[in-house]
Chain A
Amino acid sequence: MIAILDYGSGNLRSAQRAFETTGAEVVLTSDRRTALEADGLVVPGVGAFRSCMNGLLAIGGDEIIRERFAKERPTLGICIGMQVLFSHGLEHSVDDVPSTDGVGVWDGTVSKLNAPILPHMGWNTVVAPKDSALFKGIESESFYFVHSYAAKEAVGQRVSWTEHGERFVSAVEDGAMSATQFHPEKSGSVGLTLIRNWTGTL
């Protein structure tokens, strides 16, 4: 069973349907036990880094994610759901509030992309390492992005890269923890392939 963590508003229906195309049972949940015990947990993300963290904290999502990471339980962060896995986010930071703490699975800061047009919105190429499990068979395809902030330093075991104004981390695979800055559930057939690659490891 795959659980999609429901901790705010936004479009979770597409994510649910996309993961259901693998044949898996998929539930939307904010329940701690369901999220901890699921074979795979998907952490979606909507809005900004801080509002996303606030939503996660409200349901104890940060602890759920850290516990799954410690127990090597498969977890997949998507978009802001990837960004909050880092230790710091600079979105909406001002002088008196320098940054927002993330879940802290990885040490690193999520900062604004240096690009002429933002948000980075649309289909862009992801270059994945050859030994990637997530991108098996789709190592240099385009996926759908919507974001203005990103991590720019490598973390974890395998990192995929994309360019928009500058190079940034578009996916991380680190043991049982995976994350994509793009939306696989909105990336057509290649996105569904990535989802099948992930559920195939559960």
Chain B
Amino acid sequence: MSLSIRIIPCLDVTDGRVVKGVNFTNLVDAGDPVEMAALYERESADELTFLDISASSSDRETTLDIVRKTADQVFIPLTVGGGIRSVADVNQLLRAGADKISINTAAIARPELISEIADAFGSQVLVLSVDARRAKTESGFEVTTHGGRNGTGIDALGWIERACNLGVGEILLNSMDADGTRQGYDIEMIEAVRPITRVPLIASGGAGDLEDFARALDAGADALLAASVFHFGVHRIEEVKRYLSQAGYSIREVSNQ
């Protein structure tokens, strides 16, 4: 009896459609985020993440509509990230049915946004998304923006410590070096971040083999986010959970009531 590790599928959404490699055979429409969210809930996902990668702010209403429709029929926690710049943006998403929001670029541009959101809604709604890669900074890891294309010169560990002091409730640590490789989570990066924060740590980027999930947990992750391995059916969530359960990790079993 203990807190279970969490498996979190991540859906990239733009213009109301799931993009970036979705290849499900058992869906009527593989691009519909609401349908995919419901499917992942049935497959025992512990949480869901939508990443809004829309280029223009006019798509905002479309995203809100998807969040509403998802919250209407999916009863597990939903995190929404992408393009969030203000307390008002957060309020809109929470009101639409999001449980948590993740911020990245806007917090780097204006760190006070972290404490503004935490003061208004509590730290528990706020996930700091950190896109980090190896670079010549103090810790050897640098924060990037724009999906890893732009370096900031900001040391990733220093940034995480500062953000935790400002009031984030969770860290989503996304390795830009490992992202999309399916060569495993960035174990060194997880091990470097784990000792400097007491908030839950979600590992992201690089999941491929079943062993990769276990290694990230051993390195100190509390939750595991993955996209393509689930979208392409490389692994089913239930398969990952069965493997981790047999390896001795605490997982949530879904009883179909």
Q: Identify the A interface with B (CB < 8 A).
A: 9-14, 17-18, 46-48, 51, 116-125, 127, 137-138, 141-142, 144-148, 162-164, 183, 185-193
Across the interface, do A123 and B200 meet the contact criterion of CB distance under 8 Å? no
Does residue B77 face the partner (Cβ distance < 8 Å to A)? yes
Least distance between A11 CB and chain B CB atoms (Å):
5
A118 contacts B1, C-beta separation under 8 Å: no
When distances are taken between beta carbons in the complex, the residues of chain B under 8 Å from A11 are 71, 94-95, 97-99
Whether B41 is near chain A, meaning CB under 8 Å from some CB there, is yes
Q: Is the CB of A188 within 8 A of B75?
A: yes
Given contacts A121-B169, A148-B124, A186-B77, list 9 more A-B pairs with CB under 8 A: A9-B121, A13-B68, A13-B95, A14-B75, A124-B1, A124-B2, A124-B3, A186-B99, A187-B75
The CA of A146 and the CA of B78, in the complex, are separated in Å by 13
Contacts of A51 in B (CB 8 A): 122
* Interface residue stretch chosen among B54-62, B154-162, B207-215, B248-256: B248-256
4 smallest A-B Cβ distances: which pairs? A47-B122, A13-B97, A123-B252, A125-B1
* B120, CB-defined interface residue at 8 Å: yes
Can you show 7 pairs from A to B with CB atoms below 8 A apart? A51-B122, A121-B222, A122-B46, A144-B77, A148-B124, A164-B2, A164-B3
- What is the distance, in angstroms, from A188's C-beta to the closest C-beta of chain B? 5
**Residues of A contacting B252 in the complex (Cβ-Cβ under 8 angstroms):** 123, 142
Judged by a CB distance under 8 angstroms, whether B199 is at the interface is yes
Tell whether, in the assembled complex, residue A188 and residue B254 are in contact, meaning their CB atoms are under 8 Å apart: yes
Determine if B2 and A163 form an interchain contact, defined as CB atoms under 8 angstroms apart: yes
Contact B46 A13 (CB under 8 A): no
Known: A9-B121, A47-B121, A116-B198. A122 touches B6 (CB 8 A): yes
Asked if B255 and A189 make an inter-chain contact with CB atoms under 8 angstroms apart, the answer reads yes
Known: A9-B94, A10-B94, A190-B257. A122 touches B200 (CB 8 A): yes
- A188 and B76 contacting across the interface, CB-CB below 8 Å: yes
Q: B232 to chain A: closest CB distance in Å?
A: 25
A118 to B122, CA, bound (A): 13
The verdict on B96 contacting chain A, using a C-beta distance below 8 Å, is yes
Docked pose: A122 CA to B2 CA in angstroms: 10
CA distance A15 to B253 in the complex (A): 23
B91 at the interface (CB under 8 A from A): yes
Q: Which chain A residues border B75 with CB–CB below 8 Å?
A: 14, 17-18, 185-189, 191-192
Q: Is the CB of A46 within 8 A of B122?
A: yes
Q: Is the CB of A119 within 8 A of B4?
A: no
B188-220: which have CB < 8 Å to A? 198-200
Answer yes or no: B228 CB below 8 A from chain A CBs: no
Does B14 lie at the interface of the complex (its beta carbon under 8 Å from any beta carbon of A)?
no
Contacts A186-B77, A189-B255 known; A118 to B99 CB distance under 8 Å? no
**Once the chains bind, are B97 and A123 in contact (CB under 8 Å)?**
no
- Interface centre among B75, B94, B257, by most chain A C-beta atoms within 10 angstroms, is B75
B223 at the interface (CB under 8 A from A): yes
Given the known inter-chain contacts A17-B72, A144-B76, please indicate yes or no for A189 contacting B99, CB distance below 8 A. no
Q: Please determine whether B94 and A193 come into contact, CB atoms closer than 8 angstroms.
A: no
The contact of A14 among B5, B97, B255, by CB within 8 Å, is: B97
In the assembled complex, the Cα of A127 lies from the Cα of B124 at a distance in Å of 24
Residue of A nearest to B169 (CB): A119
B residues less than 8 Å from A124 (CB atoms) = 1-4
